[in-house]
Amino acid sequence: MARNIGAACRRCRRENLKLYLKGDRCYSDKCSFERRAFGPGQHGQARFKKLSDYAVQLREKQKVKSMYGMLEGQFRLTFAKSEMQKGVTGENLLINLERRLDNTIFRIGFASSRNQARQLVRHKHILVNGKKVNVPSFLVSAGDVITIKEKSRANTLLNENLEAVARRGVPSWIELDKDNYKAEIKTLPNREEITMPIQEQLIVELYSK
């Protein structure tokens, strides 16, 4: 399975935005973006020239891809599905990205990062409506109940993540039952609940060229 193995902190610095790719480290003083809030590389502190419209659109797409930990093929396929749905394509795209199982596990608080959430899903620690699901791109629906497999509940890292939920918070479209390692998708997320600074229309314009 292809994956992005580049340095996560460089991606945050490249996009000039904290993308929370490394879990708890992003909330600590060790966060590389906080210590070096300039672009990576030997010319990172130099003043950049004004970007063209295409470059602005491309950077927005790259930022969202990095945020959700996706490769180009996966992202383009998600965009194509979003384009075929009723409604505004950009909003459909963001909602479909939020509905991914790996992102949902991260939002619930079972994992400290989306990368860690993908590992939980791939290693079959996650049940959706009582059935094992090991596909990170699986789209959750309203009414779905997500639980941790019984044998996996003693995992120290998982319990540490749940203890940190109070600091990060849980989105309003998810109801978490921390004591029973269970969460229910009350409703699908809407655009207003996606608070990261994303300009989805730029991505639509890029793919429309």
Residues in contact with 207: Cβ distance below 8 Å, sequence separation at least 6, in sequence order: 76, 79
Q: What angle do CA 119, 183, 175 make, to 5 degrees?
A: 130
CA distance 146 to 183: 5
| pLDDT at site 1 | 44
| Helix spans in the chain (H) | 8-15, 32-35, 53-68, 72-84, 89-99, 101-108, 114-122, 156-163, 165-168, 200-207
- Residues in a beta bridge with 147: 127, 182
* pLDDT at position 136 over 90: yes
Mean pLDDT for the stretch of residues 75-97: 96
List the domain boundaries for the chain.
Answer: 8-97+198-207, 100-191
Domain at 100-191: CATH architecture: Roll (3.10)
* pLDDT at position 82 over 70: yes
The single residue listed with the structure tokens 């090991």 is: 134
**pLDDT digit string, tens, across residues 54-63:** 989 999 999 9
Least trusted range by pLDDT, from 12-21, 70-79, 147-156, 179-188:
12-21
Residues in contact with 167: Cβ distance below 8 Å, sequence separation at least 6, in sequence order: 27
Mean pLDDT for the stretch of residues 75-103: 96
With both helix axes pointing from N to C terminus, report the angle between 53-68 and 200-207 in degrees, rounded to the nearest 10: 110
Q: Give the CATH fold of the 8-97+198-207 domain.
A: Ribosomal Protein S4 Delta 41; Chain A, domain 1 (1.10.1050)
Asked whether the CA dihedral 195, 19, 172, 143 is positive or negative, the reply is positive
**pLDDT digit string, tens, across residues 1-43:** 455 555 655 665 565 665 655 555 555 555 555 555 555 555 4
Q: What is the pTM of this model?
A: 0.80
Burial category of 83 from C-beta neighbours within 10 Å (exposed 0-12, middle 13-18, buried 19 and up): middle
* pLDDT at position 142 over 90: yes
Alpha-carbon distances, residue 157 vs 37, 113, 162 (angstroms): 29, 12, 9
CA distance 36 to 13: 8
> Fold identical between 8-97+198-207 and 100-191?
no
